[in-house]
Amino acid sequence: MLSEKIEKALNDQIRIEAESSQIYLAMACWAEVKGLEGVAGFMYSQSDEERAHMLKLVRYINERGGHAHVSALNAPNVTFKSFKEMFEKLFDHEVFVSESINELVHIALQEKDYSTHNFLQWYVSEQIEEEAMARTILDKINMIGNDKGGLYLFDRDIQQITISTAASESPE
Protein backbone atom coordinates (compact mmCIF):
# COMPACT_ATOMS: atom_id res chain seq x y z
CA MET A 1 0.00 0.00 0.00
CA LEU A 2 1.26 3.44 -0.91
CA SER A 3 1.37 6.25 1.61
CA GLU A 4 -0.56 9.41 0.70
CA LYS A 5 2.71 11.29 0.34
CA ILE A 6 4.16 8.72 -2.08
CA GLU A 7 0.93 8.46 -4.06
CA LYS A 8 0.77 12.24 -4.48
CA ALA A 9 4.45 12.44 -5.51
CA LEU A 10 4.01 9.62 -8.03
CA ASN A 11 0.90 11.29 -9.45
CA ASP A 12 2.87 14.53 -9.78
CA GLN A 13 5.47 12.55 -11.75
CA ILE A 14 2.73 11.20 -14.02
CA ARG A 15 1.94 14.80 -14.99
CA ILE A 16 5.63 15.55 -15.57
CA GLU A 17 6.02 12.51 -17.83
CA ALA A 18 2.84 13.42 -19.74
CA GLU A 19 4.10 16.98 -20.18
CA SER A 20 7.45 15.57 -21.35
CA SER A 21 5.62 13.60 -24.02
CA GLN A 22 3.81 16.77 -25.11
CA ILE A 23 7.07 18.75 -25.17
CA TYR A 24 8.68 16.19 -27.47
CA LEU A 25 5.54 16.12 -29.62
CA ALA A 26 5.60 19.92 -30.00
CA MET A 27 9.29 19.72 -30.92
CA ALA A 28 8.49 17.03 -33.50
CA CYS A 29 5.86 19.24 -35.08
CA TRP A 30 8.22 22.22 -35.20
CA ALA A 31 11.01 20.15 -36.75
CA GLU A 32 8.71 18.54 -39.30
CA VAL A 33 7.40 21.91 -40.48
CA LYS A 34 11.02 23.10 -40.83
CA GLY A 35 11.85 20.12 -43.07
CA LEU A 36 13.93 18.30 -40.47
CA GLU A 37 12.38 14.86 -40.98
CA GLY A 38 15.10 13.04 -39.04
CA VAL A 39 14.79 15.33 -36.03
CA ALA A 40 10.99 15.07 -36.24
CA GLY A 41 11.13 11.27 -36.29
CA PHE A 42 13.49 11.28 -33.32
CA MET A 43 11.16 13.60 -31.39
CA TYR A 44 8.05 11.54 -32.23
CA SER A 45 9.83 8.47 -30.92
CA GLN A 46 10.90 10.29 -27.74
CA SER A 47 7.32 11.49 -27.23
CA ASP A 48 6.11 7.88 -27.37
CA GLU A 49 8.82 6.85 -24.92
CA GLU A 50 7.81 9.53 -22.41
CA ARG A 51 4.19 8.39 -22.65
CA ALA A 52 5.35 4.84 -21.89
CA HIS A 53 7.17 6.19 -18.81
CA MET A 54 3.91 7.82 -17.72
CA LEU A 55 1.91 4.61 -18.20
CA LYS A 56 4.46 2.63 -16.20
CA LEU A 57 3.83 5.00 -13.27
CA VAL A 58 0.04 4.77 -13.72
CA ARG A 59 0.12 0.99 -13.57
CA TYR A 60 2.48 0.95 -10.59
CA ILE A 61 0.27 3.27 -8.53
CA ASN A 62 -2.87 1.29 -9.33
CA GLU A 63 -1.16 -2.07 -8.67
CA ARG A 64 0.00 -0.83 -5.26
CA GLY A 65 -3.52 0.05 -4.15
CA GLY A 66 -3.35 3.72 -5.02
CA HIS A 67 -5.29 5.67 -7.61
CA ALA A 68 -3.40 7.13 -10.55
CA HIS A 69 -4.70 10.50 -11.72
CA VAL A 70 -4.75 12.08 -15.14
CA SER A 71 -4.43 15.81 -14.68
CA ALA A 72 -4.41 18.95 -16.77
CA LEU A 73 -1.11 19.63 -18.53
CA ASN A 74 0.80 22.83 -19.12
CA ALA A 75 0.99 23.64 -22.83
CA PRO A 76 4.49 23.18 -24.26
CA ASN A 77 6.45 25.79 -26.16
CA VAL A 78 5.70 25.31 -29.88
CA THR A 79 8.22 27.65 -31.50
CA PHE A 80 11.99 27.83 -31.36
CA LYS A 81 14.54 30.27 -32.81
CA SER A 82 16.70 27.37 -34.00
CA PHE A 83 17.05 23.64 -33.72
CA LYS A 84 19.99 24.30 -31.36
CA GLU A 85 17.72 26.26 -29.02
CA MET A 86 15.18 23.43 -29.19
CA PHE A 87 17.78 20.87 -28.11
CA GLU A 88 19.05 23.18 -25.35
CA LYS A 89 15.50 23.36 -23.99
CA LEU A 90 15.25 19.58 -24.29
CA PHE A 91 18.44 19.15 -22.25
CA ASP A 92 17.22 21.60 -19.58
CA HIS A 93 13.94 19.71 -19.39
CA GLU A 94 15.69 16.35 -18.96
CA VAL A 95 17.75 17.83 -16.09
CA PHE A 96 14.46 19.00 -14.51
CA VAL A 97 12.97 15.49 -14.87
CA SER A 98 16.09 13.97 -13.29
CA GLU A 99 15.76 16.31 -10.32
CA SER A 100 12.10 15.32 -9.97
CA ILE A 101 12.95 11.59 -10.04
CA ASN A 102 15.69 12.15 -7.46
CA GLU A 103 13.18 13.91 -5.20
CA LEU A 104 10.81 10.95 -5.60
CA VAL A 105 13.59 8.56 -4.56
CA HIS A 106 14.26 10.77 -1.53
CA ILE A 107 10.58 10.68 -0.54
CA ALA A 108 10.46 6.90 -0.96
CA LEU A 109 13.41 6.54 1.40
CA GLN A 110 11.89 8.97 3.92
CA GLU A 111 8.67 6.96 3.87
CA LYS A 112 10.62 3.69 4.11
CA ASP A 113 8.83 2.51 0.95
CA TYR A 114 11.52 0.22 -0.40
CA SER A 115 9.26 -1.25 -3.09
CA THR A 116 8.76 2.20 -4.61
CA HIS A 117 12.46 2.95 -4.13
CA ASN A 118 13.28 -0.21 -6.08
CA PHE A 119 10.70 0.63 -8.79
CA LEU A 120 12.20 4.13 -9.21
CA GLN A 121 15.71 2.82 -9.87
CA TRP A 122 14.66 2.15 -13.47
CA TYR A 123 13.76 5.84 -13.81
CA VAL A 124 17.06 6.90 -12.27
CA SER A 125 18.97 4.87 -14.87
CA GLU A 126 16.70 6.07 -17.66
CA GLN A 127 17.37 9.71 -16.76
CA ILE A 128 21.12 9.15 -16.82
CA GLU A 129 20.68 7.93 -20.41
CA GLU A 130 18.29 10.77 -21.35
CA GLU A 131 20.67 13.46 -20.08
CA ALA A 132 23.67 11.80 -21.75
CA MET A 133 21.78 11.60 -25.04
CA ALA A 134 20.76 15.27 -24.89
CA ARG A 135 24.32 16.30 -23.99
CA THR A 136 25.75 14.23 -26.89
CA ILE A 137 23.29 15.79 -29.32
CA LEU A 138 24.19 19.29 -28.13
CA ASP A 139 27.88 18.47 -28.56
CA LYS A 140 27.20 17.41 -32.16
CA ILE A 141 25.14 20.55 -32.82
CA ASN A 142 27.95 22.72 -31.46
CA MET A 143 30.40 20.93 -33.78
CA ILE A 144 28.15 21.63 -36.76
CA GLY A 145 27.87 25.34 -36.02
CA ASN A 146 26.21 27.06 -39.01
CA ASP A 147 27.28 24.44 -41.57
CA LYS A 148 24.18 23.57 -43.63
CA GLY A 149 25.82 20.37 -44.86
CA GLY A 150 26.47 19.38 -41.28
CA LEU A 151 22.82 20.07 -40.42
CA TYR A 152 21.73 17.89 -43.33
CA LEU A 153 23.92 15.02 -42.12
CA PHE A 154 22.82 15.54 -38.50
CA ASP A 155 19.15 15.44 -39.54
CA ARG A 156 19.78 12.27 -41.53
CA ASP A 157 21.73 10.56 -38.77
CA ILE A 158 19.96 11.61 -35.55
CA GLN A 159 17.72 8.56 -35.42
CA GLN A 160 20.82 6.38 -35.28
CA ILE A 161 22.10 8.05 -32.09
CA THR A 162 22.35 5.56 -29.29
CA ILE A 163 23.89 6.29 -25.95
CA SER A 164 25.79 3.74 -23.94
CA THR A 165 26.20 4.94 -20.37
CA ALA A 166 28.03 3.46 -17.45
CA ALA A 167 24.63 2.85 -15.83
CA SER A 168 23.41 0.75 -18.77
CA GLU A 169 26.53 -1.36 -19.14
CA SER A 170 26.64 -4.66 -17.31
CA PRO A 171 29.72 -5.40 -15.22
CA GLU A 172 31.99 -8.06 -16.62
Cα–Cα distances (Å) from 73 to 19, 35, 48, 70, 142, in that order, read: 6, 28, 16, 9, 32
Average pLDDT taken over every residue of the chain = 92
136 vs 139: CA distance, rounded Å: 5
The sign of the dihedral angle between the CA atoms of 136, 99, 59, 43 is negative
Q: Is residue 167 part of a domain?
A: no
> Under a CB-based contact definition with an 8 Å cutoff, are residues 25 and 43 in contact?
yes
Q: Is residue 19 part of a domain?
A: yes
pLDDT reading at 122 higher than 90: yes
The tens digit of pLDDT for each residue in 28-44 reads 999 999 999 999 999 99
Q: For residue 162, what pLDDT is reported? A: 56
2 vs 13: CA distance, rounded Å: 15
Domains of the chain: total? 1
pLDDT reading at 170 higher than 80: no
121 vs 126: CA distance, rounded Å: 8
Domain ranges, residue 11: 4-70+77-160
Q: Is residue 31 part of a domain?
A: yes
Q: Is residue 169 part of a domain?
A: no
Q: Is residue 47 part of a domain?
A: yes
pLDDT reading at 6 higher than 70: yes
The tens digit of pLDDT for each residue in 89-120 reads 999 999 999 999 999 999 999 999 999 999 99
Q: Is residue 172 part of a domain?
A: no
> What CATH number does the domain containing 15 carry?
1.20.1260.10
> Under a CB-based contact definition with an 8 Å cutoff, are residues 75 and 23 in contact?
no
The tens digit of pLDDT for each residue in 60-87 reads 999 999 999 999 999 999 999 998 999 9
pLDDT reading at 132 higher than 70: yes
